[in-house]
Amino acid sequence: MTSSLAKIEDFPSDPVEFFKKILQEAAKGHPDGFVQEMNLATVDEEFGVLNRTVLYRGLTQDNCVFYITHRYVRNFKNLRANPKACITFYMPDVKDGAGNQNTWQVRLIGATAVELAQSEMDALWAKENLAAQIRGHICPCGEPINYDDLKAKHDQFLQDHRGKSIERPASYTAWKFQPQRWDFLKVGLDQIADRVQYRLQKDGKWASMHVST
Average pLDDT of the residues in 35-41? 96
**Residue 127 belongs to a domain:** no
**Residue 69 belongs to a domain:** yes
**Residue 31 belongs to a domain:** yes
Average pLDDT of the residues in 7-14? 94
**Residue 201 belongs to a domain:** yes
pLDDT computed for residue 99 by the predictor: 82
pLDDT computed for residue 183 by the predictor: 98
CATH number at residue 89: 2.30.110.10
pLDDT per residue as tens digits for the range 182-197 = 999 999 999 999 999 9
SS3 per-residue string spanning the chain: CCCEECCCCCCCCCHHHHHHHHHHHHHCCCCCCCCCEEEEEEEECCCEEEEEEEECCCECCCCCEEEEEECCCHHHHHHHHCCEEEEEEEEEEEECCCCCEEEEEEEEEEEEEEECCHHHHHHHHHCCCHHHHHHHHHCCCCCCCCHHHHHHHHHHHHHHCCCCCCCCCCCEEEEEEECCEEEEEEECCCEECEEEEEEECCCCCEEEEEECC
pLDDT computed for residue 106 by the predictor: 98
pLDDT per residue as tens digits for the range 137-168 = 999 888 899 999 999 999 999 999 999 999 99
Q: What's the total number of domains in the chain?
A: 1
pLDDT computed for residue 141 by the predictor: 84
pLDDT computed for residue 31 by the predictor: 82
User: pLDDT over 70 for what percent of the chain?
Assistant: 100
29 pLDDT higher than 80: no
**Residue 136 belongs to a domain:** no
pLDDT computed for residue 97 by the predictor: 78
**Residue 44 belongs to a domain:** yes
Average pLDDT of the residues in 33-56? 95
**Residue 53 belongs to a domain:** yes
**Residue 63 belongs to a domain:** yes
Range of the domain at 45: 4-122+171-210
pLDDT per residue as tens digits for the range 79-133 = 999 999 999 999 998 988 778 899 999 999 999 999 999 999 999 999 999 999 9
